[in-house]
Amino acid sequence: MKVLRNDLNGVLVLEPKVFGDERGFFFESWTRRGFDALVGRPVEFVQDNHSRSVRGVLRGLHYQVAHTQGKLVRVISGEIFDVAVDIRRSSPTFGRWTGEALSGENRRMIWVPEGFAHGFVVLSETAEVLYKATDFYAPEHERTLLWNDPALGIDWRFAGAPLLKPRDAAGLPLAKAETFP
């Protein structure tokens, strides 16, 4: 696994070593030993999630204030623009975002550690996204950061109005959101 970028005090963009020939390809998408070495600490994943969405769906920006989740995100088909926002007030990168195009073609992954809000928008006709999480989903602790908060200035790389769930449309701007110390 190769680290392409190390952004915002912990967000990693990763690229696996792919072995391909006329039959297809093979790669290790995750190994505990390799991933822990890249992150610099032991990481335990407890849940795998899989979503399928159509073009223009924007999911996020989600986080949990208790039972915080680190997420290792990858796309198996289609393309998304994946975004992480640092919401740790003690961090020198508080309120900054980073994004990466993830696709079934480029096979890149993004590690979004605990203390970040996370979301993505689908750029292709459809996209299937897989992500590993370090804690279980806890809806009572879930919060949503406003996807188009002018204070964040996220360039979603998508023209037009995204398709949103009501809770995502009603997210809070960073100035009013519950954040981490």
Catalytic residues: 62, 131
Beta bridge partners of 144: 62
b (16+ CB within 10 A) / e for 124-154: beebbbebbbbbeeeeeeebbbbbbbeebeb
Instruction: Tell me which residue of 75, 123, 64, 76 sits closest to 102, measured CA to CA.
Output: 75
- Residue 160 phi, psi (nearest 5): 100, 180
Asked if 30 and 36 touch (Cβ cutoff 8 Å), the reply is: no
Instruction: Tell me which residue of 16, 46, 67 sits closest to 132, measured CA to CA.
Output: 46
Please state whether 95 falls in left (phi above 0), alpha (psi between -120 and 50) or beta.
left
Please state whether 87 falls in left (phi above 0), alpha (psi between -120 and 50) or beta.
alpha
Residue 173 carries which DSSP code?
Answer: P
Distance from the Cα of residue 21 to its chain's centroid:
30
